A and B are shown apart, each in its own frame.
Chain A
Amino acid sequence: MAGNAWRSMLSQVVGVAVRRPALCSTSLPRGMHTVTMIPGDGIGPEISSAVMKIFEAAKAPIQWEERNVTAIKGPGGKWMIPPDAKESMDKSKIGLKGPLKTPIAAGHPSMNLLLRKTFDLYANVRPCVSIEGYKTPYTDVNLVTIRENTEGEYSGIEHLIVDGVVQSIKLITEDASRRIAEYAFEYARNNQRSSVTAVHKANIMRMSDGLFLRKCREVAEAYKDIKFTEMYLDTVCLNMVQDPTEFDVLVMPNLYGDILSDLCAGLIGGLGVTPSGNIGANGVAIFESVHGTAPDIAGLDMANPTALLLSAVMMLRHMGLHGYGKKIETACFDTIRDKKVLTKDLGGNSKCSEFTADICRRVQDMD
């Protein structure tokens, strides 16, 4: 019993740590990786095609499989994603997703939630690095927020006790806390990060955050090469807006992660330039842009593909294709620093296609 648990834990840890080998079906040329691309809604299709164009210019060994994700009712009345999308993801294990809209009162849960549940995406990783060409009051930001994505305050368990009294339940479990802590330390080790900070409010939520903290401490014992600190949520917020350089990797439960990851995104310039990745059990990873669908500019060639592009770069690094990742990232940053063809949200007035073309040109010039 314990042996199985140990083995599965070990394989989980190893599965995340080991570089992804080339996933080849017999029909793919050697070295090509399949990635499921979910364009999304609104500006999703435009920015996805921008990313695919840039990857083509960089000659990255990626074979895209486009799938659409809508909620359909499966047998038994449960909402699920279309089976062909699920099959593609299970085979390729890597996905790149554009923004998905959540219609209000559609009767089905949000698409993001469905994806999360289907693939057990337990860790949300958001590296926040200041972009040289995009000025914000904060320079030298270089941190990563790792957020537990399945439980915590977002379990969705709420009750109306009596009229006028509502109770929301925050769930913290040992397994989920251990899993996220292990992922955080593995990530820190694989990406040459020096410290991991657990963010909590164990002075108020003694048992729940206390459990989370205990698990983090236990996992830290196995990673003596990485410094482990713990800090209250309010202290982190206070220090983050004064001096973000003192933070490296942050690991935390769901709600704090939501707030802090958006806070850090705000530090570097907003959701339009922030990459994000969701890591699931069984080696599945879906990288996404976290901004909205922007229906008001959809189809007008005004969208900024930076967020999706940087998420795609994160994906390349996850797959071990560091060379291509660096090339595309450098081209993107150079274009932004140059300030000649910026999209409207970055302060320019060029079109999305012009921005994309500029990056493609730079990537090709690099070869």
Chain B
Amino acid sequence: MAASSAVLSMSKIIKPFWGGRLGNTVKVLGPTLTSSRGKSSASPLPAKYGGRHTVTLIPGDGIGPELLNHVREVFRFSCVPVDFEVVYVNSALSTEDDINNAITAIRRNGVGLKGNIETNHIMPPSVKSRNNLLRTSLDLYANVMHCQSLPGVQTRHKDIDILIIRENTEGEYSSLEHESVSGVVESLKIITRNNSLRIADYAFRLAREKGRRRVTAVHKANIMKLGDGLFLQCCKEVASGYPDVKFDSMIVDNTTMQLVSNPEQFDVMVMPNLYGNVVSNVCAGLVGGPGLVPGANYGRDYAVFETATRNTGKSIADRNIANPTAMLLASCMMLDHLKLYDYASLIRNAILTCMNETRLHTADIGGQGTTSEVVQSIMRIIQSKGQLTTEL
């Protein structure tokens, strides 16, 4: 409470300066404007004591536990000053205690790293998706995914470099459904002005930060005139405040068609929740699959990192064939967020060297390596850089 009032007063200082350019958006976005993607002095800092950060770790189901174990191994090996607080979530239970514990832990620590928690849709509809619950409770409104063609991976398309920003809390994922008459179910898709402005502003700020030229809004406003129409209108409003970044829009079915024929044309894309799901999975498939792309969920106060396509990978669990790249790159994004940039680049470079030069690939990208082989190789590369490490 104190934090938000402090932030609002900060926005009053900023408003006269920016007011002319941003107009109405400042009123709505006062708090978010002042907080950068990392932390501002007003919102809670990530948990740090004695120089070591504490991060909540949620193993999840399927391949989550084994991949996160590898992350811990690599961190321990590279002497990264991060301690993990492990919170288990049992997806088979219908009570929400487990996930509430996890949410509390993330609130406590500020940062989380998670595997995907399975949603058993045989259970009654009152049992909601745990992942969705986590995202909405912590208000992690922006899901960011960077899809880049990696030189060492064979794909049909080359030179892809797309930044996808997806609204993460509302839209079709509002979990508001009811059976009005027997045999007729209604599901509500909610679009609000505040959230649309928020995500659009996030997208443009990120585009500017990263030196991107163009932001494309993906929508279906020709059919959902009010809902997606509102989203598009909010994007246009925010775009007017960023004249250095070009803005255009595209209908979602045309977008998917363009993505499979000409993905090089896209730069930054911003969209509501469901279209984000489709587009991010298509892009992940284009650059080489779910094992390669990390994803991040940012809120005003918290950040949770995971693989971009959020797969449980039940069929490949515990067989030592999963690709650790996505989870390891996600942990590097987390290190960047914690401002441990040196460790982040060290591990990231080791991963990319392993991928591009030694070409040690797992089965999903056409190789024959096992997960542990890839992880060992990454650790060897880290050691060879002269970094202080523990025993191999």
Interface residues of A (CB under 8 A from B): 136-138, 153-154, 156, 158-160, 163-175, 201-208, 210-211, 213, 233-235, 237-242, 255, 258-263, 265-267, 269-271
Is the CB of B281 closer than 8 A to any CB of chain A?
Answer: yes
Is the CB of B70 closer than 8 A to any CB of chain A?
Answer: no
B121 near A173 (CB under 8 angstroms)?
no
B282 near A238 (CB under 8 angstroms)?
yes
- How far in angstroms is the closest Cβ of chain B from A186? 22
Give the residues in chain B near A137, CB-CB below 8 Å. 156-157, 260-261
9-residue interface stretch from B72-80, B189-197, B200-208? B189-197
B189 near A207 (CB under 8 angstroms)?
no
Is the CB of B128 closer than 8 A to any CB of chain A?
Answer: yes
Complex Cα–Cα for A138 and B259 (A): 13
- How far in angstroms is the closest Cβ of chain A from B323? 13
Which A residue sits closest to B286, measured CB to CB?
A241
Give the residues in chain B near A267, CB-CB below 8 Å. 260
11 pairs, A vs B, C-beta closer than 8 Å: A137-B260, A160-B226, A164-B192, A166-B191, A169-B186, A207-B125, A208-B186, A210-B121, A238-B281, A263-B259, A265-B257
What's the A-B contact tally at a CB cutoff of 8 Å? 169
A158 near B224 (CB under 8 angstroms)?
yes
9-residue interface stretch from B173-181, B342-350, B355-363? B173-181
Q: State the 10 A-B residue pairs at the shortest beta-carbon distance, nearest first.
A: A164-B193, A266-B257, A241-B285, A206-B125, A262-B253, A174-B183, A137-B156, A203-B119, A158-B226, A208-B187
Give the residues in chain B near A153, CB-CB below 8 Å. 172, 189, 223-224
B177 near A207 (CB under 8 angstroms)?
yes
Give the residues in chain A near B254, CB-CB below 8 Å. 262
Q: Taking A205-B187, A206-B177 as contacts, is the C-beta distance between A238 and B257 under 8 angstroms?
A: no
- How far in angstroms is the closest Cβ of chain A from B197? 9
Is the CB of B258 closer than 8 A to any CB of chain A?
Answer: yes
Give the residues in chain A near B256, CB-CB below 8 Å. 237, 259-260, 262-263, 266
Complex Cα–Cα for A253 and B223 (A): 15
Give the residues in chain A near B90, CB-CB below 8 Å. none
Give the residues in chain B near A271, CB-CB below 8 Å. 257
A238 near B193 (CB under 8 angstroms)?
no
Complex Cα–Cα for A322 and B349 (A): 58
- How far in angstroms is the closest Cβ of chain B from A144? 17
- How far in angstroms is the closest Cβ of chain B from A95? 23
Q: Taking A206-B125, A241-B282 as contacts, is the C-beta distance between A166 and B183 under 8 angstroms?
A: no
Is the CB of B3 closer than 8 A to any CB of chain A?
Answer: no
Complex Cα–Cα for A240 and B184 (A): 31
A158 near B227 (CB under 8 angstroms)?
yes
B128 near A206 (CB under 8 angstroms)?
yes
A174 near B184 (CB under 8 angstroms)?
yes
Complex Cα–Cα for A167 and B252 (A): 19
Give the residues in chain B near A154, CB-CB below 8 Å. 223
Is the CB of B309 closer than 8 A to any CB of chain A?
Answer: yes
Give the residues in chain A near B225, CB-CB below 8 Å. 158
Complex Cα–Cα for A227 and B188 (A): 32
Q: Taking A238-B284, A259-B278, A263-B257 as contacts, is the C-beta distance between A168 and B125 under 8 angstroms?
A: no
Is the CB of B30 closer than 8 A to any CB of chain A?
Answer: no
- How far in angstroms is the closest Cβ of chain B from A275? 16
Give the residues in chain B near A160, CB-CB below 8 Å. 226
Is the CB of B152 closer than 8 A to any CB of chain A?
Answer: no
Given A153-B189, A158-B226, 6 further pairs, Cβ under 8 A: A166-B227, A166-B230, A170-B172, A207-B185, A208-B186, A263-B257
